[in-house]
């Protein structure tokens, strides 16, 4: 069976700015099918950023389900996340997806999976996909040892990941939540 493999999604928060970005590569087994895909979306009037590692059709389904939960709990992202994770886990079809979501707003960061995992990273950095570990390491270093802004950190960390992960390229798309 053919499946989508790999991606890099990275989200960081610095100085009141939340940035989530992704590489643009879509791979089908060992073939690059697309180089400029957009894997991060802004939801709920630009207040929430969501990145997806997995198949596009699955992403659209999950984004729709997640938006329903956000609408039901509009000012409580943690509650919307828990309710979404429960629904995802209970759905016989969706829970079989090997998919991950990264979700951020101004205060919270989460990583979710169909197996019921809800992870709130201690440092607030969201990193998923085959290049996620590389980008996470780079972002942690840049946050600690540089004064770069959040957008630049995401761009540099994904570019560094693209030099190591064959399923990640340096065609980066970015979404931002800024202080008003």
Q: Which residues are catalytic?
A: 7
Structure tokens at 48: 């929430």
Q: Give the integer Cα–Cα distance in Å for 154 and 84.
A: 26
Collapsed DSSP state (helix, strand, coil) of residue 13: strand
3-state secondary structure 110-147: EEEECCCCEECCCCCCEEECCCHHHHHHHHHHHHHHCC
Sheet holding 100-104, edge to edge: 40-43, 48-53, 100-104, 109-113, 118-119
Structure tokens at 2: 């053919």
**In this structure, are residues 143 and 12 in contact, taking their beta carbons and an 8 Å threshold?**
yes
Q: Give the integer Cα–Cα distance in Å for 171 and 165.
A: 14
């Amino acid at each position: 069976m053919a499946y989508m493999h790999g991606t890099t999604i990275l989200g960081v928060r610095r100085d009141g700015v939340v940035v989530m970005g992704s590489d643009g590569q879509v791979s089908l087994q060992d073939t690059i099918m697309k180089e400029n895909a957009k894997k991060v979306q802004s939801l709920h009037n630009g207040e929430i950023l969501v990145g997806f590692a997995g198949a596009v059709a699955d992403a659209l389904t999950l984004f729709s389900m997640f938006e329903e939960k956000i609408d039901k709990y509009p000012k409580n992202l943690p509650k919307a996340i828990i309710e979404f994770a429960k629904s995802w886990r209970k759905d016989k079809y969706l829970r079989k997806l090997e998919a991950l979501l990264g979700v951020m707003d101004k205060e919270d960061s989460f990583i979710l999976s169909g197996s019921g995992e809800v992870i709130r990273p201690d440092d607030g950095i969201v990193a998923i996909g085959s290049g996620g570990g590389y980008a996470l390491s780079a972002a942690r270093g840049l946050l600690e040892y540089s004064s770069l802004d959040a957008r630049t950190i995401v761009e540099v960390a994904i570019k560094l990941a693209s030099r190591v992960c064959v399923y990640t390229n340096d065609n980066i798309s970015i979404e931002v939540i800024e202080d008003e």
